[in-house]
Amino acid sequence: MTNVRDDLAPTGVLRASINLGNPVLAQGTPAEPRGVTVDIAREIARRLDVQLELICFDAARKSFEAMTTGQADICFLAIDPARAGQVAFTAPYLAIEGVFVVPQDSGLKAVADVDATGIRVGVKEGSAYDLYLTRTLQEATIVRGDEGVEVFRAEGLEVGAGIRQPVTQWVADHPEYRLIEQPFMQIQQAVGTTKARHPETVAYLNALVQEFVSVNITLGES
């Protein structure tokens, strides 16, 4: 345990990068964050017997950069090949869905319809679905912004992309739009740390996450 603690939190404080930009994973304010990722970070710090510092951001790319530049010790990100070169991921603790939103009168009915010439897709820059769609879309054009649905609406794009829960709520508030119900991807969320960590440290984090999932201690209300 001492070796893991010294490797993961050498200052005696575990610095966890929290993405408040994904309301499925974290809610609240930078001063008082809450949610599944906050619960996991607190439990890891408790097991290590160290203090916890929560460093909050409004986007996954900022959370990722904080860890890779040494500002944070762990982060909570979607597992993605574009990040795997710098991040050692645990097993996933949660899966969420990426979905498309279109105008009510759009002729686009299915996920397969989206990848076509002349279709512009709004995404949140640096998000897991930005990385995924960048790899997979062959004909459609990606337009990046602070929020996928907002750049979609502001620029009059054909399609917006986002996470099911917040996009569903957004559509409820904007009835002139509708979801394409079929998800275009499953987003596997995991704990990440830098590739420089010892294998034993990554194995320890992985075992903790698997334990959390098996007993469901992190997935309730926070």
Q: Which CATH superfamily is domain 96-186 in?
A: Periplasmic binding protein-like II (3.40.190.10)
Above 80 in pLDDT, residue 41?
A: yes
Domain boundaries, the chain: 2-95+189-215, 96-186
pLDDT of residue 12: 93
Whether residue 221 is predicted with pLDDT greater than 50 in this model: the reply is no
| Same-fold call for 2-95+189-215 versus 96-186 | yes
* Tens-digit pLDDT profile for residues 117-162: 999 999 999 898 999 999 999 999 999 998 889 999 999 999 999 9
Query: Would you say 193 and 8 are in contact if contact means Cβ atoms under 8 Å apart?
Result: yes
Q: What is the CATH code for 2-95+189-215?
A: 3.40.190.10
Q: What pLDDT shows up at residue 217?
A: 52
Examine the pLDDT at 218 and tell me if it is beyond 60.
no
pLDDT, average across residues 25-34? 94
Residue-wise pLDDT for 150-160, tens only, equals 999 999 999 99
Each residue's pLDDT tens digit, 57-97: 998 899 999 999 999 999 999 998 888 899 999 999 998 89
Residue 216 pLDDT grade (very low, low, confident, very high; cuts 50, 70, 90) = low
d(CA 107, CA 210): 43
Each residue of 166-191: pLDDT tens digit? Answer: 999 999 999 999 999 999 999 899 99
The pLDDT, as a whole number, for residue 213 is 86
